[in-house]
């Protein structure tokens, strides 16, 4: 753990490298949040799947507004 | 480098999700069960089933047992949520790191997780506290979800802008004073949002207060455990990743 390592790594990551990850990764993660949190609850894109039943306790205990 | 951080965020989120599952199972399920028991005896609109307490909204929906809901179902939510939140935290980390006062990767990750808990969970929960089964009018779920989401977005926006403001002030008035101004700005913005957004109170008059309290404390604790796990695990993983490739960029 030398000072040189610290100095080099404290440089911000270049935005050109970071931005595509933030946009694509962010969208992917928000989609995941949607399916775990909202699908078949407040909104429904798919139907007929017992997603709501299966995820019931988790949604309550993670604090998502539920029925 | 961002890709490596992102992968570590997903991993940290999954691990934190397992920890949060153990916590939710132990400290959250008792209150949830009591709320369902209350709901079953005061059925108003929808039931969790007659005999096995299986949750039943549509009447035709395949039943999922309480054991499944409290076991693999609960774990699915905490782990997938952990993965999503861990991934998001790692992306914010990749943007913020090196742009804030000199703290290392672990300190940055821990502060980010704390800021996330405050703005994503705690501040919105003070305005719209989490509702156990039996609390909440099914007819207003759309409205409640929208105003809750607005509260969350305002709160996240207030956090991001107050951090940005305090950062630009720190060079002139010092780190401590800059942080104080940022904190004051955050409190003012979310306080205004709390006043302006509509109040919602649809707790049934005879719903047991102790169960409601236990449930809400449990939910906030689960969220705190999840964020703490993400922040601490990701911080350690990120520190190693960055030390092993100091000049990758």
Q: Please, which pLDDT band fits residue B41 given cuts at 50, 70 and 90?
A: confident
Rounded Cα distance between B150 and B164, Å, is 21
The confidence score (pLDDT) of residue B62 equals: 53
Is B154 a residue whose pLDDT tops 90?
yes
For an interface test with A, which of B91, B100, B140 has the most A Cβ atoms less than 10 Å from its Cβ? B91
The confidence score (pLDDT) of residue B114 equals: 97
Q: Check if A45 contacts B (Cβ < 8 Å).
A: no
Q: Which H/E stretch holds residue A63?
A: none
**Beta carbons of A61 and B74 less than 8 Å apart:** yes
For residues B92 and A11, the model is more confident at: B92
Percentage of chain A exceeding pLDDT 70: 67
- CB distance B105 to B8 below 8 Å: no
Per-residue pLDDT tens digits for B6-25? 999 999 999 999 999 999 99
Is A3 a residue whose pLDDT tops 60?
no
Q: Which H/E stretch holds residue A64?
A: none
Mean residue pLDDT across chain B: 87
Q: Which of residues 39-58 of B touch A (CB under 8 A)?
A: 46, 54-57
**Beta carbons of B98 and A28 less than 8 Å apart:** no
Contacts of B61 in chain A (CB under 8 A): 50, 52-53
Q: Check if B140 contacts A (Cβ < 8 Å).
A: no
Q: Please, which pLDDT band fits residue B171 given cuts at 50, 70 and 90?
A: confident
Percentage of chain B exceeding pLDDT 90: 63
**Beta carbons of B95 and A13 less than 8 Å apart:** yes
Q: Check if B243 contacts A (Cβ < 8 Å).
A: yes
3-state helix/strand/coil string of A4-60:
HHHHHHCCCCCHHHHHHHHHHHHHHHHHHHHHHHCECCCECCCCCCCHHHHHHHHHH
For range B167-180, the mean pLDDT? 91
Is B89 a residue whose pLDDT tops 70?
yes
Per-residue pLDDT tens digits for B203-235? 888 889 999 999 999 999 999 999 999 999 999
The minimum CA-CA distance between A67 and chain B, rounded to whole Å, is 5
Percentage of chain B exceeding pLDDT 70: 90
The minimum CA-CA distance between A49 and chain B, rounded to whole Å, is 8
Is B170 a residue whose pLDDT tops 80?
yes
Q: Check if B104 contacts A (Cβ < 8 Å).
A: yes
Per-residue pLDDT tens digits for B122-145? 999 999 999 888 887 777 888 888
Q: Check if B122 contacts A (Cβ < 8 Å).
A: no
Contacts of B235 in chain A (CB under 8 A): none
The confidence score (pLDDT) of residue B220 equals: 96
The confidence score (pLDDT) of residue B139 equals: 78
Is B91 a residue whose pLDDT tops 90?
yes
For an interface test with B, which of A5, A21, A57 has the most B Cβ atoms less than 10 Å from its Cβ? A57
Query: What ipTM is given for this predicted complex?
Result: 0.80
Q: Which of A10, A32, A63 sits opposite B125 (nearest CB)?
A: A63
**Per-domain residue ranges of chain B:** 2-113+129-134+206-244, 136-202
Q: Which of residues 11-30 of A touch B (CB under 8 A)?
A: 11-15, 17-18, 21-22, 25-26, 28-30
């Amino acid at each position: 753990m030398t000072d040189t390592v610290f100095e080099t790594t404290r440089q911000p990551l270049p935005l050109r490298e970071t931005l595509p990850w933030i946009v694509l990764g962010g969208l992917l993660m928000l989609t995941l949040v949607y399916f775990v949190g909202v699908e078949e609850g407040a909104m429904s894109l798919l139907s007929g799947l017992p997603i709501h039943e299966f995820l019931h306790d988790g949604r309550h205990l993670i604090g998502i507004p539920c029925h | 480098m961002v890709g490596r951080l992102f992968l570590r965020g997903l991993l940290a989120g999954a691990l934190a999700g397992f920890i949060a599952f153990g916590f939710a199972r132990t400290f959250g399920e008792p209150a949830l069960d009591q709320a369902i028991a209350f709901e079953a005896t005061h059925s108003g609109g929808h039931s969790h089933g007659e005999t096995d307490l299986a949750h039943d909204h549509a009447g035709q929906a395949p039943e999922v047992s309480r054991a499944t809901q409290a076991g693999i179902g609960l774990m699915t939510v905490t782990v997938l949520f952990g993965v999503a939140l861990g991934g998001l935290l790692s992306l914010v980390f990749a943007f913020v790191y090196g742009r804030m006062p000199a703290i290392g990767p672990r300190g940055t990750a821990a502060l980010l997780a704390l800021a996330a808990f405050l703005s994503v969970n705690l501040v919105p929960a003070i305005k719209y506290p989490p509702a156990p089964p039996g609390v909440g009018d099914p007819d207003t779920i759309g409205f409640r979800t929208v105003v809750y989401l607005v509260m969350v977005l305002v709160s996240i926006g207030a956090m991001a802008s107050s951090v940005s403001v305090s950062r630009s002030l720190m060079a002139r008035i010092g780190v401590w004073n800059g942080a104080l101004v940022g904190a004051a700005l955050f409190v003012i913005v979310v306080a205004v949002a709390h006043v302006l957004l509509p109040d919602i109170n649809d707790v049934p008059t005879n719903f047991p207060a102790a169960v409601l309290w236990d449930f809400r404390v449990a939910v906030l604790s689960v969220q705190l455990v999840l964020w703490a796990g993400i922040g601490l695990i990701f911080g350690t993983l990120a520190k190693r990743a960055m030390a092993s490739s100091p000049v990758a960029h």
